[in-house]
Amino acid sequence: MSLPRLLLSIVLSTIAANSLAAAPTTAQLDQARIKGLAWLVTHQGGDGSWKSPSGLAIQPTAAALDALANAGIKQGYVYAAGQAWLGNADGSSVDSLSRKTIALFHSGANVTPLTSQLLLQRNDLAKAWGAYSKYQSTFPDSALALDAILVSGATYADTGSTLGFVAGKQNAADGGWPYSASAPTAPSSSLIPSAYSVLMLSHAKAKGWGVDTYITNGVNWIVAHAKADGGFADDTLATTGSPLETALAYLALTQAKIAGNAAAVAAQATIDNASLFLINNQSIDGNWGGDPFATAVALQTLPAATLADSNKNGVPDVVEAYLGWNPAAPNRSIALGNGQSVTGITASKLVASGTQYQALSLNLAASGGTAPYTWGVTSGYLPDGLILNASTGLISGTPASAGTFNFSYTVRDATSASTTVAAQIAIASDNSDVPTLPQWGVILMALLLMVSMTVMSRNKRG
């Protein structure tokens, strides 16, 4: 797109955006939050995860944790179970590992092993990331990976080089970013890679990197692609917005504004219209698109809040009231039998897995009581080789035996209040050093051959 056409597009988009209604009211935002959180709470899987219709689980679970934290929810079963599941999930792709790192960092977990793994997956030639370890660098993978490093504060000596790669792949003609970092001809820009790139660059700017020009170009591209209804869509031919893409655009523009980018500050009307689009397109039962990922990302666009939680079960009073639950009751139906909510202390059910002879580390969370807490196994047994640190709640070690180990642990606070939680750790067998049946046949043949040769040798000597 030529510069005159780009400017015309921005002008027309601005006119369309300004023709919409004003920003949502506080009451509208509050109601959207209550309905959205209620939908998330009631659509969490039994294992603690959230799954999108496509089958993805790491991305929506990470997004859901950030959405809950945005509402001040960082205790109780819903949050703790999601955190436990995500901490044990195997994120093989750069996308999933990056999102997992960011969400767990926000939860207060130690993510150093995750950022180390992320650095090992980098394409060292370009000093950027592709879809999987060492793959050709792409977007938004490169932006997501570097964002995980920036957000978590990990040490990364090549930050400047990776920023240079991202800046160098910005389309000079329009200011956006494509999905592919290399092609025979310049690939066209798309909303999702552009939004994630602006989001990451805004975090880099906040840490002192001189990337404001690239943010400005990206912001202008995003603003120019607002639809007439105030939403955004990755499909440039679409005439109406999509909730997920609109939420991503909102988050990118807002983060750029927080970082002090002038173009983003000037785009307040576009930001407000995107928010209004999300309010108007929320389903009556509280979700966006029937997808926990889109719903969680949309919830992240709402102003940060700390909602009251009288019974400290991790579900705000207003959400419980909306669902018809009693906010004053110490338990709720979804918590029964799972150690999810008791008066005084909230601790999470543990369902985890590992592999024999491979190191395993699990954190038992506790909140709501009076610190410090102490932990102990009160029935059953941990897998051989694992120990529970009574002072920290960390289960660690190298399991020596395979099998399913059921046990209960009790967490006690400084006032001697306690709760007991059922737990299970399944350890898969490591058969890497055990010969298979064909291998046993080869070994037996070799032994017979050795015996035969020994007998022949003795006969010759005799």
Tell me the percentage of the chain whose pLDDT exceeds 70.
Answer: 82
Do residue 55 and residue 199 come from a single domain?
A: yes
How far apart CA 335 and CA 354 sit, in angstroms, is 26
Confidence class for position 342, pLDDT limits 50, 70, 90: very low
Check whether 55 has a pLDDT greater than 60: yes
Last residue of some domain: 247, 277, 300?
300
Is residue 324 included in any domain, yes or no?
Answer: no
The mean pLDDT of 286-296, rounded to a whole number, is 96
Rounded to the nearest 10 degrees, how much is the dihedral formed by the CA atoms of 440, 442, 448, 450?
-120
Report pLDDT for 462: 54
The mean pLDDT of 415-431, rounded to a whole number, is 78
Contact 347, 410 (CB under 8 A): no
Do residue 270 and residue 353 come from a single domain?
A: no
Q: What is the CATH number of the domain that holds 363?
A: 2.60.40.10
Beta strands 403-412 and 394-397, pairing class: unpaired
Check whether 440 has a pLDDT greater than 60: no
Is residue 332 included in any domain, yes or no?
Answer: no
How far apart CA 124 and CA 118 sit, in angstroms, is 12
Do residue 250 and residue 397 come from a single domain?
A: no
Beta strands 350-355 and 418-428, pairing class: parallel
Is residue 337 included in any domain, yes or no?
Answer: no
Report pLDDT for 367: 73
Tokens 């046949």 belong to 441
Report pLDDT for 336: 31
Report pLDDT for 330: 52
Do residue 188 and residue 108 come from a single domain?
A: yes
Confidence class for position 343, pLDDT limits 50, 70, 90: very low
Confidence class for position 334, pLDDT limits 50, 70, 90: very low
Do residue 402 and residue 281 come from a single domain?
A: no
Range of lowest pLDDT (21-35, 158-172, 338-352): 338-352
Tell me the β-bridge partners of 420. 410
Check whether 83 has a pLDDT greater than 80: yes
Report pLDDT for 328: 72
Do residue 285 and residue 355 come from a single domain?
A: no
Report pLDDT for 390: 93
Last residue of some domain: 275, 300, 325?
300
How far apart CA 70 and CA 87 sit, in angstroms, is 19
Q: What are the tens digits of pLDDT across the range 172-184?
A: 989 999 998 775 4
Do residue 293 and residue 362 come from a single domain?
A: no
Report pLDDT for 421: 72
Is residue 317 included in any domain, yes or no?
Answer: no
Contact 35, 286 (CB under 8 A): yes
Is residue 136 included in any domain, yes or no?
Answer: yes
**What's the half-sphere exposure (Cβ side, CA atoms, 13 Å) at 249?**
33
Do residue 260 and residue 390 come from a single domain?
A: no
Check whether 6 has a pLDDT greater than 50: no
Domain span holding position 400: 342-428
Is residue 379 included in any domain, yes or no?
Answer: yes
Is residue 145 included in any domain, yes or no?
Answer: yes
Task: Check residues 75 and 122 and name the one with the higher pLDDT.
Answer: 122
Do residue 66 and residue 204 come from a single domain?
A: yes
Q: What is the CATH number of the domain that holds 36?
A: 1.50.10.20
Average pLDDT, the chain: 85
Alpha helix ranges (H) inside 169-242 = 191-206, 212-224
pTM for this structure?
0.70
How far apart CA 87 and CA 100 sit, in angstroms, is 8
Confidence class for position 442, pLDDT limits 50, 70, 90: low
The mean pLDDT of 425-438, rounded to a whole number, is 68
Report pLDDT for 100: 96
The mean pLDDT of 4-13, rounded to a whole number, is 43
Tell me the percentage of the chain whose pLDDT exceeds 90.
Answer: 60
Do residue 287 and residue 372 come from a single domain?
A: no
Do residue 39 and residue 119 come from a single domain?
A: yes
Is residue 437 included in any domain, yes or no?
Answer: no
Range of lowest pLDDT (112-126, 220-234, 255-269, 322-336): 322-336
Total of domains in the chain: 2
State the burial class of residue 424 (Cβ atoms within 10 Å of its Cβ: 0-12, 13-18, 19+).
Answer: middle
| 427, containing H or E segment | strand 418-428
* Cβ contacts of 265-269, under 8 Å, gap ≥ 24: 267/219, 267/223, 269/14, 269/17, 269/18
Contact 250, 264 (CB under 8 A): no
Do residue 275 and residue 131 come from a single domain?
A: yes
Report pLDDT for 180: 86
Check whether 459 has a pLDDT greater than 60: no
Report pLDDT for 227: 97
Confidence class for position 144, pLDDT limits 50, 70, 90: very high
Pick from 279, 274, 283: which is nearest to 246 by CA? 274
How far apart CA 377 and CA 395 sit, in angstroms, is 11
Cβ contacts of 216 within 8 Å, gap of 6 or more: 175, 261, 262, 263
Confidence class for position 405, pLDDT limits 50, 70, 90: confident
Beta strands 366-367 and 394-397, pairing class: unpaired
